[in-house]
Amino acid sequence: MPKKESPLHQLNTYLPEGSFDDVVSYLHEYKVHLTVTRERKSVLGDYRNSHFNKNHRISVNGNLNKYSFLITLLHELGHLLAFEKHGNRIPPHGAQWKNEFGKILARFITKKIFPPDIEAELLQSLQNPSASSCAEDGLLRILKRYDADKPGFFFVEELSLNSLFKVKGGKTFKKGNKVRKRYVCQDVATGRLFLFSPVAEVELVKDNSE
């Protein structure tokens, strides 16, 4: 996946107001090589620890809105801080990471950088930070409010039953019923059934509500 280095003066364009100085302080202190990537299907950000004279490396998807970008970056900095204290013999999202991510997130929350609706969700997540940045369903719903308008794109939960939708990669699915926390959807081409998160973002092909 193509990446580009992010000069620190350009980083400000990806971050919400009031967060730049503190972010840069972390990047300088821990000698972080930060890159901004194109959209990736499976991850929003990534961390690689320092080794063999290479600096810590963090990458964040550049298509995220400013609040999602900052939360993802803090998530990865949590990995860095956990590595600095405990090395690499800890679970990726175990107690050590949760502790470090919680502390760094709390620091930014106290600076009133986030809008009230995002802040309220983040305060709830501090009790048990998620393994995936921006992964709690409630937080995803709220963060979407701050995305650039994308006509034709919806969360699966917003579509009517039996509606057809496309995912990244081009496959078309028909929305089925919700089972527990996920929707059972049928691959139109193969007939196979797949489970979708309610907040999976998809492109509407046909609304079959009528």
Domains in the chain: boundaries: 3-144, 153-206
pLDDT tops 50 at residue 68: yes
94-127: burial string, b at 16+ Cβ within 10 Å, e else:
eebbbbbbbebbeebeeeebbeeebbebbeebee
- Contact between 77 and 59 (Cβ < 8 Å): no
- Segment 23-44 shows an average pLDDT of 90
* 3-state secondary structure at position 105: helix
Per the CB < 8 A criterion, the answer to whether 168 and 133 are in contact is no
Residue 1, pLDDT score: 42
What six digits make up the tokens of 203? Answer: 């492109």
Q: Using DSSP bridges, classify how beta strands 32-37 and 56-61 pair: parallel, antiparallel or unpaired.
A: parallel
Please, which residues bridge with residue 4 across strands? 36
Which of the four pLDDT bands, split at 50, 70 and 90, describes residue 74?
Answer: very high
Q: Tell me how far apart the alpha carbons of residues 198 and 68 are, in angstroms, rounded to a whole number.
A: 18
Do 183 and 154 contact (CB within 8 A), yes or no?
no
More confident residue, 128 or 65: 65
pLDDT band at 134 (very low <50, low <70, confident <90, very high): low
pTM: 0.82
Confidence tier at 131 by pLDDT (50, 70, 90)? low
How far apart are alpha carbons 116 and 202 in whole angstroms? 27
In words, the CATH class of domain 153-206 is mainly beta
